[in-house]
Chain A
Protein backbone atom coordinates (compact mmCIF):
# COMPACT_ATOMS: atom_id res chain seq x y z
CA UNK A 1 0.00 0.00 0.00
CA UNK A 2 1.16 3.54 -0.76
CA UNK A 3 -0.22 6.80 0.60
CA UNK A 4 -0.77 9.63 -1.88
CA UNK A 5 -2.09 13.02 -0.76
CA UNK A 6 -3.13 16.17 -2.61
CA UNK A 7 -2.01 19.38 -0.92
CA UNK A 8 -3.19 22.00 -3.46
CA UNK A 9 -6.41 21.95 -5.48
CA UNK A 10 -5.43 25.05 -7.47
CA UNK A 11 -2.84 27.83 -7.52
CA UNK A 12 -4.12 29.92 -4.64
CA UNK A 13 -5.16 27.07 -2.34
CA UNK A 14 -4.36 27.00 1.40
CA UNK A 15 -0.60 27.30 1.92
CA UNK A 16 -0.60 25.32 5.19
CA UNK A 17 -2.22 22.21 3.68
CA UNK A 18 0.84 20.57 2.06
CA UNK A 19 3.01 21.39 5.09
CA UNK A 20 0.60 19.62 7.42
CA UNK A 21 0.29 16.65 5.07
CA UNK A 22 4.04 15.91 5.26
CA UNK A 23 4.43 16.76 8.96
CA UNK A 24 1.31 15.39 10.64
CA UNK A 25 1.18 11.75 9.59
CA UNK A 26 2.48 9.01 7.29
CA UNK A 27 2.79 9.80 3.59
CA UNK A 28 4.66 8.46 0.54
CA UNK A 29 3.71 10.90 -2.23
CA UNK A 30 2.55 14.51 -2.11
CA UNK A 31 0.87 15.77 -5.27
CA UNK A 32 0.07 19.40 -5.99
CA UNK A 33 -2.32 20.57 -8.72
CA UNK A 34 -1.58 24.18 -9.62
CA UNK A 35 -2.94 24.52 -13.14
CA UNK A 36 -6.48 25.43 -14.10
CA UNK A 37 -7.35 25.74 -17.78
CA UNK A 38 -6.73 29.44 -17.87
CA UNK A 39 -3.62 29.43 -15.67
CA UNK A 40 -1.45 28.56 -18.69
CA UNK A 41 -2.18 31.89 -20.35
CA UNK A 42 -1.35 33.76 -17.14
CA UNK A 43 2.03 32.07 -16.78
CA UNK A 44 2.68 32.55 -20.51
CA UNK A 45 2.28 36.32 -20.08
CA UNK A 46 4.57 36.29 -17.04
CA UNK A 47 7.22 34.49 -19.08
CA UNK A 48 6.93 37.05 -21.90
CA UNK A 49 7.60 39.85 -19.41
CA UNK A 50 10.42 37.96 -17.65
CA UNK A 51 12.03 34.82 -19.19
CA UNK A 52 12.83 33.57 -15.65
CA UNK A 53 9.10 33.43 -14.77
CA UNK A 54 6.14 31.46 -16.11
CA UNK A 55 5.58 28.84 -13.40
CA UNK A 56 3.65 28.50 -10.12
CA UNK A 57 5.78 30.73 -7.92
CA UNK A 58 4.22 29.33 -4.71
CA UNK A 59 5.91 25.99 -5.38
CA UNK A 60 9.65 26.66 -4.84
CA UNK A 61 8.80 28.57 -1.66
CA UNK A 62 6.82 25.56 -0.42
CA UNK A 63 9.68 23.18 -1.22
CA UNK A 64 12.09 25.40 0.69
CA UNK A 65 9.75 25.09 3.69
CA UNK A 66 9.20 21.30 3.54
CA UNK A 67 12.45 20.22 1.83
CA UNK A 68 14.17 18.84 4.93
CA UNK A 69 11.05 17.00 6.08
CA UNK A 70 10.34 15.28 2.77
CA UNK A 71 13.98 14.17 2.56
CA UNK A 72 13.88 12.78 6.13
CA UNK A 73 10.58 11.01 5.60
CA UNK A 74 11.23 10.00 1.98
CA UNK A 75 8.11 11.73 0.65
CA UNK A 76 8.24 12.27 -3.12
CA UNK A 77 6.57 15.36 -4.57
CA UNK A 78 4.82 15.51 -7.98
CA UNK A 79 3.49 18.86 -9.17
CA UNK A 80 2.34 20.52 -12.39
CA UNK A 81 4.00 23.66 -11.04
CA UNK A 82 6.17 24.06 -14.15
CA UNK A 83 3.55 26.03 -16.08
CA UNK A 84 5.18 27.10 -19.33
CA UNK A 85 8.66 27.26 -17.80
CA UNK A 86 9.44 24.06 -15.86
CA UNK A 87 13.19 24.61 -16.31
CA UNK A 88 13.06 27.95 -14.48
CA UNK A 89 10.82 26.39 -11.83
CA UNK A 90 13.34 23.57 -11.30
CA UNK A 91 16.21 26.05 -11.13
CA UNK A 92 14.46 28.01 -8.38
CA UNK A 93 13.62 24.82 -6.46
CA UNK A 94 17.28 23.77 -6.65
CA UNK A 95 18.41 27.20 -5.49
CA UNK A 96 16.17 27.06 -2.43
CA UNK A 97 16.59 23.31 -1.75
CA UNK A 98 19.98 22.25 -3.21
CA UNK A 99 19.93 18.86 -1.50
CA UNK A 100 16.93 17.64 -3.54
CA UNK A 101 17.04 15.79 -6.85
CA UNK A 102 14.60 17.25 -9.36
CA UNK A 103 13.18 15.67 -12.53
CA UNK A 104 11.48 17.76 -15.22
CA UNK A 105 8.90 16.35 -17.65
CA UNK A 106 9.18 18.07 -21.03
CA UNK A 107 6.92 17.87 -24.06
CA UNK A 108 3.57 19.41 -23.20
CA UNK A 109 4.41 22.82 -24.70
CA UNK A 110 3.38 22.62 -28.36
CA UNK A 111 3.23 26.38 -28.98
CA UNK A 112 6.37 26.25 -31.17
CA UNK A 113 4.90 23.39 -33.26
CA UNK A 114 1.43 24.76 -34.06
CA UNK A 115 2.20 25.90 -37.61
CA UNK A 116 3.86 22.58 -38.33
CA UNK A 117 0.72 20.79 -37.06
CA UNK A 118 -1.54 23.04 -39.16
CA UNK A 119 0.46 22.57 -42.33
CA UNK A 120 0.40 18.79 -41.77
CA UNK A 121 -3.40 19.00 -41.92
CA UNK A 122 -4.31 18.99 -38.23
CA UNK A 123 -7.11 21.57 -38.05
CA UNK A 124 -7.30 21.59 -34.22
CA UNK A 125 -10.96 22.60 -34.43
CA UNK A 126 -12.56 23.94 -31.27
CA UNK A 127 -14.19 20.98 -29.51
CA UNK A 128 -17.08 23.20 -28.35
CA UNK A 129 -17.76 25.33 -31.44
CA UNK A 130 -16.27 23.38 -34.36
CA UNK A 131 -14.34 26.40 -35.65
CA UNK A 132 -10.87 25.74 -37.16
CA UNK A 133 -7.84 27.04 -35.26
CA UNK A 134 -6.77 29.11 -38.27
CA UNK A 135 -9.49 31.66 -37.39
CA UNK A 136 -7.57 32.71 -34.25
CA UNK A 137 -4.00 31.73 -35.22
CA UNK A 138 -2.52 35.23 -34.83
CA UNK A 139 -4.05 35.69 -31.37
CA UNK A 140 -2.79 32.47 -29.73
CA UNK A 141 -0.88 33.02 -26.48
CA UNK A 142 -0.12 29.46 -25.36
CA UNK A 143 -0.70 25.87 -26.47
CA UNK A 144 -0.11 22.83 -24.30
CA UNK A 145 -0.99 19.17 -24.57
CA UNK A 146 -2.48 17.42 -21.58
CA UNK A 147 0.17 14.85 -20.66
CA UNK A 148 -0.83 11.61 -18.96
CA UNK A 149 0.66 9.71 -16.02
CA UNK A 150 3.28 7.55 -17.76
CA UNK A 151 5.79 10.37 -18.40
CA UNK A 152 5.43 11.37 -14.72
CA UNK A 153 6.01 7.76 -13.65
CA UNK A 154 9.15 7.71 -15.81
CA UNK A 155 10.33 10.80 -13.95
CA UNK A 156 9.74 9.07 -10.60
CA UNK A 157 11.80 6.12 -11.87
CA UNK A 158 14.88 8.36 -11.96
CA UNK A 159 14.78 8.44 -8.16
CA UNK A 160 13.97 12.14 -8.11
CA UNK A 161 12.68 13.74 -4.91
CA UNK A 162 10.63 16.26 -6.89
CA UNK A 163 8.90 15.81 -10.24
CA UNK A 164 7.97 19.03 -12.03
CA UNK A 165 5.58 18.90 -14.97
CA UNK A 166 3.84 21.52 -17.07
CA UNK A 167 0.34 20.85 -18.38
CA UNK A 168 -0.41 17.30 -17.27
CA UNK A 169 -3.90 16.15 -16.36
CA UNK A 170 -4.92 16.66 -12.76
CA UNK A 171 -5.62 12.96 -12.36
CA UNK A 172 -2.20 11.94 -13.73
CA UNK A 173 -0.48 13.42 -10.67
CA UNK A 174 -1.96 10.74 -8.39
CA UNK A 175 -1.98 7.91 -10.94
CA UNK A 176 1.75 8.28 -11.67
CA UNK A 177 3.00 6.98 -8.30
CA UNK A 178 0.71 3.95 -8.60
CA UNK A 179 2.13 3.14 -12.05
CA UNK A 180 5.66 3.64 -10.72
CA UNK A 181 5.24 1.73 -7.47
CA UNK A 182 2.97 -1.13 -8.59
CA UNK A 183 4.39 -1.57 -12.10
CA UNK A 184 1.04 -1.02 -13.85
CA UNK A 185 1.30 -1.20 -17.65
CA UNK A 186 -0.16 0.86 -20.48
CA UNK A 187 -2.95 -1.66 -21.18
CA UNK A 188 -4.05 -2.25 -17.56
CA UNK A 189 -7.23 -0.31 -18.30
CA UNK A 190 -9.11 -1.22 -15.10
CA UNK A 191 -6.14 -0.35 -12.89
CA UNK A 192 -5.45 2.89 -14.75
CA UNK A 193 -9.15 3.83 -14.45
CA UNK A 194 -9.02 3.13 -10.71
CA UNK A 195 -5.96 5.34 -10.25
CA UNK A 196 -7.55 8.02 -12.43
CA UNK A 197 -10.70 8.06 -10.28
CA UNK A 198 -8.53 8.18 -7.14
CA UNK A 199 -6.89 11.20 -8.70
CA UNK A 200 -10.27 12.78 -9.48
CA UNK A 201 -11.37 12.35 -5.86
CA UNK A 202 -8.34 14.14 -4.43
CA UNK A 203 -7.53 16.65 -7.20
CA UNK A 204 -9.61 19.42 -5.61
CA UNK A 205 -8.01 19.10 -2.21
CA UNK A 206 -10.40 19.58 0.69
CA UNK A 207 -13.47 19.17 -1.52
CA UNK A 208 -12.97 15.45 -0.70
CA UNK A 209 -12.70 16.04 3.05
CA UNK A 210 -15.62 18.31 3.85
CA UNK A 211 -14.91 21.54 2.00
CA UNK A 212 -17.72 22.99 -0.15
CA UNK A 213 -19.87 20.15 1.15
CA UNK A 214 -23.66 20.48 0.96
CA UNK A 215 -24.62 17.64 3.24
CA UNK A 216 -24.59 18.45 6.97
CA UNK A 217 -22.07 21.24 6.42
CA UNK A 218 -22.84 22.91 9.75
CA UNK A 219 -21.73 19.82 11.67
CA UNK A 220 -18.40 19.16 9.93
CA UNK A 221 -15.78 19.47 12.68
CA UNK A 222 -12.84 21.87 12.88
CA UNK A 223 -12.86 23.21 9.32
CA UNK A 224 -10.18 25.72 10.40
CA UNK A 225 -7.80 22.76 10.52
CA UNK A 226 -9.32 20.75 7.67
CA UNK A 227 -7.21 17.77 6.64
CA UNK A 228 -6.47 17.38 2.93
CA UNK A 229 -7.29 14.06 1.24
CA UNK A 230 -5.08 10.99 1.26
CA UNK A 231 -5.53 7.90 -0.92
CA UNK A 232 -4.21 4.61 0.43
CA UNK A 233 -3.72 2.77 -2.85
CA UNK A 234 -3.46 -1.01 -3.27
CA UNK A 235 -1.80 -2.87 -6.15
CA UNK A 236 -5.17 -4.34 -7.23
CA UNK A 237 -6.64 -0.89 -7.93
CA UNK A 238 -8.80 -0.65 -4.83
CA UNK A 239 -8.10 2.24 -2.50
CA UNK A 240 -9.21 4.01 0.67
CA UNK A 241 -9.86 7.75 0.89
CA UNK A 242 -8.93 9.25 4.26
CA UNK A 243 -7.10 12.13 5.97
CA UNK A 244 -4.57 12.46 8.76
CA UNK A 245 -5.79 11.53 12.26
CA UNK A 246 -6.48 14.64 14.32
CA UNK A 247 -7.16 16.92 11.35
CA UNK A 248 -10.49 18.65 10.82
CA UNK A 249 -13.09 17.96 8.17
CA UNK A 250 -14.94 14.77 7.31
CA UNK A 251 -14.53 11.81 4.97
CA UNK A 252 -17.59 9.63 4.42
CA UNK A 253 -19.39 8.17 1.42
CA UNK A 254 -21.62 11.25 1.00
CA UNK A 255 -18.64 13.61 0.89
CA UNK A 256 -16.81 11.38 -1.59
CA UNK A 257 -19.93 11.11 -3.79
CA UNK A 258 -20.16 14.90 -4.01
CA UNK A 259 -16.57 15.12 -5.20
CA UNK A 260 -17.03 12.23 -7.66
CA UNK A 261 -19.83 14.22 -9.31
CA UNK A 262 -17.78 17.45 -9.44
CA UNK A 263 -17.03 18.62 -12.99
CA UNK A 264 -18.22 15.28 -14.33
CA UNK A 265 -19.50 14.87 -17.89
CA UNK A 266 -20.73 11.53 -19.26
CA UNK A 267 -19.96 9.21 -16.33
CA UNK A 268 -19.29 6.18 -18.57
CA UNK A 269 -16.74 8.07 -20.62
CA UNK A 270 -14.30 9.97 -18.41
CA UNK A 271 -11.56 10.46 -21.00
CA UNK A 272 -7.94 11.00 -20.00
CA UNK A 273 -4.65 10.46 -21.85
CA UNK A 274 -4.23 7.21 -19.91
CA UNK A 275 -7.61 5.45 -20.24
CA UNK A 276 -11.39 5.92 -20.35
CA UNK A 277 -12.76 5.50 -16.83
CA UNK A 278 -16.33 4.36 -16.11
CA UNK A 279 -17.78 6.14 -13.06
CA UNK A 280 -20.85 3.86 -13.09
CA UNK A 281 -18.66 0.96 -11.87
CA UNK A 282 -17.44 2.68 -8.68
CA UNK A 283 -18.36 0.91 -5.44
CA UNK A 284 -18.11 2.89 -2.18
CA UNK A 285 -18.25 1.61 1.38
CA UNK A 286 -17.65 3.24 4.74
CA UNK A 287 -14.58 1.69 6.38
CA UNK A 288 -14.44 3.31 9.80
CA UNK A 289 -14.19 6.93 10.94
CA UNK A 290 -13.08 9.22 8.09
CA UNK A 291 -12.35 6.27 5.82
CA UNK A 292 -14.10 5.31 2.55
CA UNK A 293 -13.21 2.18 0.64
CA UNK A 294 -13.40 2.40 -3.18
CA UNK A 295 -13.38 -0.69 -5.41
CA UNK A 296 -14.82 -2.35 -8.50
CA UNK A 297 -13.67 0.29 -10.98
CA UNK A 298 -13.57 -0.63 -14.65
CA UNK A 299 -11.95 1.20 -17.53
CA UNK A 300 -11.47 0.98 -21.27
CA UNK A 301 -8.71 1.67 -23.78
CA UNK A 302 -7.41 5.20 -24.12
CA UNK A 303 -8.35 7.17 -27.26
CA UNK A 304 -5.86 7.85 -30.09
CA UNK A 305 -5.94 11.58 -29.25
CA UNK A 306 -4.50 14.02 -26.76
CA UNK A 307 -6.31 17.19 -25.80
CA UNK A 308 -4.69 20.56 -26.30
CA UNK A 309 -5.23 23.51 -24.01
CA UNK A 310 -4.85 26.58 -26.23
CA UNK A 311 -5.32 30.12 -24.96
CA UNK A 312 -5.82 33.20 -27.12
CA UNK A 313 -6.42 36.93 -26.80
CA UNK A 314 -10.17 37.39 -27.06
CA UNK A 315 -10.96 40.98 -26.08
CA UNK A 316 -11.69 43.08 -23.03
CA UNK A 317 -14.15 43.16 -20.17
CA UNK A 318 -14.96 45.16 -17.08
CA UNK A 319 -17.38 44.59 -14.22
CA UNK A 320 -18.47 47.33 -11.83
CA UNK A 321 -20.72 47.37 -8.77
CA UNK A 322 -22.77 49.78 -6.67
CA UNK A 323 -24.85 49.05 -3.56
CA UNK A 324 -28.39 50.43 -3.02
CA UNK A 325 -30.09 50.29 0.38
CA UNK A 326 -33.75 49.97 1.29
CA UNK A 327 -36.37 51.21 0.88
CA UNK A 328 -36.92 49.93 -2.66
CA UNK A 329 -33.33 48.74 -3.00
CA UNK A 330 -34.10 46.54 -5.98
CA UNK A 331 -36.13 49.17 -7.83
CA UNK A 332 -33.33 51.72 -7.39
CA UNK A 333 -30.73 49.26 -8.69
CA UNK A 334 -32.94 48.48 -11.68
CA UNK A 335 -33.39 52.19 -12.41
CA UNK A 336 -29.63 52.73 -12.19
CA UNK A 337 -29.09 49.88 -14.66
CA UNK A 338 -31.50 51.49 -17.15
CA UNK A 339 -29.68 54.83 -16.81
CA UNK A 340 -26.25 53.29 -17.42
CA UNK A 341 -27.49 51.40 -20.47
CA UNK A 342 -29.12 54.54 -21.91
CA UNK A 343 -25.93 56.56 -21.40
CA UNK A 344 -23.81 53.85 -23.07
CA UNK A 345 -26.27 53.81 -25.99
CA UNK A 346 -26.18 57.59 -26.31
CA UNK A 347 -22.38 57.48 -26.40
CA UNK A 348 -22.68 55.13 -29.39
CA UNK A 349 -20.69 52.39 -27.65
CA UNK A 350 -21.07 48.82 -28.80
CA UNK A 351 -20.36 45.70 -26.78
CA UNK A 352 -20.59 42.01 -27.43
CA UNK A 353 -22.57 41.72 -24.20
CA UNK A 354 -23.85 43.93 -21.38
CA UNK A 355 -24.86 41.81 -18.42
CA UNK A 356 -26.60 43.04 -15.27
CA UNK A 357 -27.09 41.14 -12.02
CA UNK A 358 -28.76 42.11 -8.75
CA UNK A 359 -26.82 40.53 -5.86
CA UNK A 360 -29.14 39.88 -2.98
CA UNK A 361 -32.01 39.15 -5.37
CA UNK A 362 -31.24 36.55 -8.03
CA UNK A 363 -27.65 36.83 -9.28
CA UNK A 364 -26.61 33.26 -8.50
CA UNK A 365 -29.77 31.29 -9.18
CA UNK A 366 -31.47 33.41 -11.86
CA UNK A 367 -35.07 32.39 -12.56
CA UNK A 368 -34.70 29.64 -9.91
CA UNK A 369 -34.01 32.12 -7.11
CA UNK A 370 -36.43 32.17 -4.19
CA UNK A 371 -38.57 35.35 -4.20
CA UNK A 372 -36.83 38.20 -2.32
CA UNK A 373 -39.39 40.97 -2.12
CA UNK A 374 -37.80 43.35 0.37
CA UNK A 375 -34.05 42.99 0.25
CA UNK A 376 -32.47 45.38 2.79
CA UNK A 377 -29.76 46.12 0.24
CA UNK A 378 -28.99 45.09 -3.33
CA UNK A 379 -25.67 45.18 -5.15
CA UNK A 380 -25.97 46.26 -8.76
CA UNK A 381 -23.33 44.46 -10.83
CA UNK A 382 -22.94 45.47 -14.47
CA UNK A 383 -20.40 43.88 -16.79
CA UNK A 384 -19.48 44.53 -20.41
CA UNK A 385 -17.33 42.54 -22.84
CA UNK A 386 -16.13 43.43 -26.31
CA UNK A 387 -13.24 43.66 -28.77
CA UNK A 388 -12.96 47.47 -28.45
CA UNK A 389 -10.82 48.34 -25.45
CA UNK A 390 -11.75 52.03 -25.65
CA UNK A 391 -15.45 51.24 -25.36
CA UNK A 392 -14.84 49.02 -22.35
CA UNK A 393 -12.67 51.72 -20.78
CA UNK A 394 -15.42 54.31 -21.29
CA UNK A 395 -17.89 52.00 -19.55
CA UNK A 396 -15.68 51.98 -16.44
CA UNK A 397 -16.36 55.74 -16.09
CA UNK A 398 -20.15 55.45 -16.28
CA UNK A 399 -20.94 53.78 -12.95
CA UNK A 400 -19.59 56.01 -10.17
CA UNK A 401 -21.31 59.20 -11.39
CA UNK A 402 -24.60 57.56 -10.39
CA UNK A 403 -23.71 58.13 -6.75
CA UNK A 404 -24.49 61.80 -7.35
CA UNK A 405 -26.61 61.78 -10.49
CA UNK A 406 -28.79 58.67 -10.13
CA UNK A 407 -31.30 57.09 -7.76
CA UNK A 408 -30.78 57.74 -4.01
CA UNK A 409 -28.82 55.72 -1.41
CA UNK A 410 -26.05 54.49 -3.72
CA UNK A 411 -22.92 53.43 -1.83
CA UNK A 412 -20.15 50.83 -1.92
CA UNK A 413 -18.07 52.69 -4.53
CA UNK A 414 -14.91 52.84 -2.42
CA UNK A 415 -12.66 51.10 -4.93
CA UNK A 416 -13.35 53.72 -7.59
CA UNK A 417 -13.61 52.88 -11.27
CA UNK A 418 -13.50 49.17 -12.04
CA UNK A 419 -10.40 47.93 -13.93
CA UNK A 420 -10.42 46.88 -17.59
CA UNK A 421 -9.35 43.25 -17.84
CA UNK A 422 -7.99 41.43 -20.84
CA UNK A 423 -10.08 38.38 -21.74
CA UNK A 424 -7.94 35.37 -22.56
CA UNK A 425 -10.15 32.61 -23.88
CA UNK A 426 -9.66 28.87 -23.89
CA UNK A 427 -9.68 26.74 -27.04
CA UNK A 428 -9.91 22.97 -26.47
CA UNK A 429 -8.78 20.80 -29.41
CA UNK A 430 -7.58 17.28 -30.16
CA UNK A 431 -4.46 16.06 -31.94
CA UNK A 432 -3.25 12.51 -32.66
CA UNK A 433 -1.26 11.42 -29.62
CA UNK A 434 1.80 10.45 -31.67
CA UNK A 435 2.41 14.15 -32.40
CA UNK A 436 3.38 14.66 -28.76
CA UNK A 437 6.64 13.26 -27.44
CA UNK A 438 7.82 13.68 -23.88
CA UNK A 439 11.19 13.35 -22.19
CA UNK A 440 12.54 13.51 -18.65
CA UNK A 441 15.44 15.74 -17.61
CA UNK A 442 17.13 15.22 -14.24
CA UNK A 443 18.68 18.16 -12.41
CA UNK A 444 20.92 17.45 -9.44
Chain B
Protein backbone atom coordinates (compact mmCIF):
# COMPACT_ATOMS: atom_id res chain seq x y z
CA UNK B 1 0.00 0.00 0.00
CA UNK B 2 1.03 3.63 -0.48
CA UNK B 3 1.39 5.97 2.48
CA UNK B 4 2.93 9.41 2.90
CA UNK B 5 6.37 9.25 4.45
CA UNK B 6 5.05 11.35 7.34
CA UNK B 7 3.12 8.29 8.63
CA UNK B 8 6.40 6.72 9.79
CA UNK B 9 8.95 9.56 9.83
CA UNK B 10 9.69 13.12 10.90
CA UNK B 11 12.54 15.39 9.96
CA UNK B 12 14.35 18.71 9.83
CA UNK B 13 16.10 20.59 7.04
CA UNK B 14 18.67 23.36 6.80
CA UNK B 15 21.39 24.77 4.57
CA UNK B 16 25.11 25.00 3.90
CA UNK B 17 25.62 27.46 1.06
CA UNK B 18 23.68 26.29 -1.99
CA UNK B 19 23.25 22.80 -0.54
CA UNK B 20 20.23 21.91 1.56
CA UNK B 21 20.26 18.99 3.96
CA UNK B 22 17.18 17.00 4.87
CA UNK B 23 17.23 14.70 7.86
CA UNK B 24 14.51 12.03 7.82
CA UNK B 25 13.98 10.12 11.08
CA UNK B 26 11.93 6.98 11.73
CA UNK B 27 9.31 7.67 14.41
CA UNK B 28 9.66 4.03 15.49
CA UNK B 29 13.18 2.65 15.10
CA UNK B 30 11.80 -0.56 13.53
CA UNK B 31 10.74 1.46 10.48
CA UNK B 32 14.30 2.59 9.75
CA UNK B 33 14.70 -0.30 7.29
CA UNK B 34 11.61 0.93 5.41
CA UNK B 35 13.23 4.35 5.07
CA UNK B 36 16.45 2.77 3.80
CA UNK B 37 14.50 0.76 1.22
CA UNK B 38 11.99 3.40 0.10
CA UNK B 39 13.72 6.78 0.34
CA UNK B 40 16.63 6.61 -2.07
CA UNK B 41 18.89 9.40 -3.32
CA UNK B 42 17.55 8.88 -6.85
CA UNK B 43 13.97 8.96 -5.60
CA UNK B 44 14.54 12.22 -3.73
CA UNK B 45 16.21 13.76 -6.78
CA UNK B 46 13.22 12.81 -8.94
CA UNK B 47 10.69 13.98 -6.33
CA UNK B 48 12.07 17.52 -6.18
CA UNK B 49 12.46 17.80 -9.97
CA UNK B 50 14.13 20.98 -11.19
CA UNK B 51 14.32 22.37 -7.65
CA UNK B 52 17.58 20.38 -7.32
CA UNK B 53 20.07 21.21 -10.07
CA UNK B 54 22.94 19.14 -8.64
CA UNK B 55 23.25 15.64 -7.29
CA UNK B 56 21.53 14.17 -4.23
CA UNK B 57 23.66 12.27 -1.69
CA UNK B 58 22.31 9.98 1.03
CA UNK B 59 23.98 9.09 4.34
CA UNK B 60 22.76 6.45 6.79
CA UNK B 61 22.64 6.91 10.58
CA UNK B 62 21.34 3.56 11.78
CA UNK B 63 22.07 4.57 15.38
CA UNK B 64 19.45 7.34 15.12
CA UNK B 65 17.13 5.49 12.74
CA UNK B 66 17.74 8.36 10.34
CA UNK B 67 18.84 9.23 6.82
CA UNK B 68 20.58 12.47 5.88
CA UNK B 69 20.20 13.81 2.34
CA UNK B 70 22.34 16.51 0.77
CA UNK B 71 20.61 18.29 -2.13
CA UNK B 72 23.32 20.12 -4.05
CA UNK B 73 22.53 23.33 -5.95
CA UNK B 74 19.01 23.44 -4.59
CA UNK B 75 18.73 26.87 -2.94
CA UNK B 76 18.95 29.33 -5.83
CA UNK B 77 22.59 30.15 -5.11
CA UNK B 78 22.21 29.89 -1.34
CA UNK B 79 22.92 32.35 1.45
CA UNK B 80 22.48 35.97 0.47
CA UNK B 81 22.45 35.29 -3.29
CA UNK B 82 19.20 33.36 -3.27
CA UNK B 83 16.01 35.04 -4.47
CA UNK B 84 13.87 32.24 -3.03
CA UNK B 85 11.45 32.80 -0.13
CA UNK B 86 12.82 29.61 1.44
CA UNK B 87 16.45 30.49 0.83
CA UNK B 88 17.63 28.16 3.61
CA UNK B 89 15.53 25.14 2.63
CA UNK B 90 13.76 25.24 5.99
CA UNK B 91 10.58 23.72 4.52
CA UNK B 92 12.11 21.02 2.33
CA UNK B 93 11.90 18.33 5.01
CA UNK B 94 8.15 18.92 5.23
CA UNK B 95 7.97 18.62 1.45
CA UNK B 96 9.78 15.29 1.47
CA UNK B 97 7.60 13.95 4.29
CA UNK B 98 4.61 14.29 1.93
CA UNK B 99 6.22 11.88 -0.55
CA UNK B 100 4.36 8.60 -1.02
CA UNK B 101 6.19 5.37 -0.26
CA UNK B 102 5.28 1.68 -0.62
CA UNK B 103 4.92 -0.45 2.49
CA UNK B 104 3.58 -3.92 3.24
CA UNK B 105 0.48 -4.00 5.44
CA UNK B 106 2.46 -6.06 7.96
CA UNK B 107 5.01 -3.29 8.29
CA UNK B 108 2.29 -0.92 9.50
CA UNK B 109 0.51 -3.42 11.74
CA UNK B 110 1.96 -1.84 14.85
CA UNK B 111 0.87 1.72 13.98
CA UNK B 112 -2.47 2.85 15.35
Q: Which of B33-41, B81-89, B102-110 contacts A (4 or more CB under 8 A)?
A: B81-89
Q: Can you list 29 A-B contacts (CB < 8 A)?
A: A38-B79, A215-B10, A257-B25, A260-B66, A261-B11, A263-B16, A264-B21, A265-B68, A279-B61, A279-B64, A282-B64, A355-B84, A357-B85, A363-B86, A364-B86, A365-B91, A365-B92, A365-B98, A367-B47, A368-B47, A368-B49, A383-B83, A384-B83, A385-B77, A385-B83, A423-B80, A423-B81, A426-B80, A428-B17
Q: Find out whether the CB atom of B59 lies under 8 angstroms from the CB atom of A267.
A: yes
Contacts A38-B79, A264-B68 hold; do A368 and B96 have CB atoms under 8 A apart? yes
Report the interface size class on chain B: 35 or more
Contacting residues, chain B, for A258 (C-beta < 8 A): 10-12, 23, 25
State how many angstroms separate the Cβ of B86 from the closest Cβ of chain A: 5
Q: Find out whether the CB atom of B98 lies under 8 angstroms from the CB atom of A319.
A: no
Flag A167-191 by CB within 8 Å of B: 1 or 0 each: 0000000000000000000000000
Flag B3-43 by CB within 8 Å of A: 1 or 0 each: 00000001111111110010101010000000000000000
Contacting residues, chain A, for B61 (C-beta < 8 A): 261, 267, 279-280
Contacts A214-B93, A381-B85 hold; do A254 and B21 have CB atoms under 8 A apart? no
- Beyond contacts A257-B23, A282-B64, A319-B83: 14 other A-B pairs, Cβ-Cβ < 8 A, are A207-B12, A212-B12, A212-B90, A317-B81, A317-B83, A355-B83, A357-B85, A364-B92, A365-B51, A365-B92, A366-B50, A367-B50, A368-B47, A426-B79
Among A259, A268, A366, A381, residue most surrounded by chain B Cβ atoms (within 10 Å): A366
Task: Please name the residue on chain B nearest to A284 by beta carbon.
Answer: B64
Q: Find out whether the CB atom of A261 lies under 8 angstroms from the CB atom of B81.
A: no
State how many angstroms separate the Cβ of B13 from the closest Cβ of chain A: 8
Q: Find out whether the CB atom of A366 lies under 8 angstroms from the CB atom of B49.
A: yes
Q: Give complex CA distance A264, B16 in Å.
A: 9
Contacts A260-B64, A281-B63, A282-B63 hold; do A353 and B80 have CB atoms under 8 A apart? no
Q: Taking the complex as formed, is A283 at the interface, i.e. its CB lies under 8 A from any CB of chain B? A: yes
Q: Find out whether the CB atom of B21 lies under 8 angstroms from the CB atom of A263.
A: yes
Task: Please name the residue on chain B nearest to A369 by beta carbon.
Answer: B95
Q: Give complex CA distance A355, B65 in Å.
A: 37
Q: Taking the complex as formed, is A266 at the interface, i.e. its CB lies under 8 A from any CB of chain B? A: yes
Q: Give complex CA distance A364, B95 in Å.
A: 8
Among B50, B79, B86, B99, residue most surrounded by chain A Cβ atoms (within 10 Å): B79
Q: Find out whether the CB atom of B83 lies under 8 angstroms from the CB atom of A214.
A: no
Q: Find out whether the CB atom of A363 lies under 8 angstroms from the CB atom of B85.
A: yes
State how many angstroms separate the Cβ of A372 from the closest Cβ of chain B: 13
Task: Please name the residue on chain B nearest to A363 by beta carbon.
Answer: B85
Q: Taking the complex as formed, is B94 at the interface, i.e. its CB lies under 8 A from any CB of chain A? A: yes
Contacting residues, chain A, for B92 (C-beta < 8 A): 364-365
Q: Taking the complex as formed, is A48 at the interface, i.e. its CB lies under 8 A from any CB of chain B? A: no
Task: Please name the residue on chain B nearest to A318 by beta carbon.
Answer: B83
Q: Give complex CA distance A314, B77 in Å.
A: 12
Partner of B25 from the list A261, A314, A369 (CB cut-off 8 Å) is A261
Q: Find out whether the CB atom of A355 lies under 8 angstroms from the CB atom of B76.
A: yes
Q: Give complex CA distance A284, B60 in Å.
A: 16
Q: Find out whether the CB atom of B68 lies under 8 angstroms from the CB atom of A128.
A: no
Contacting residues, chain B, for A266 (C-beta < 8 A): 59
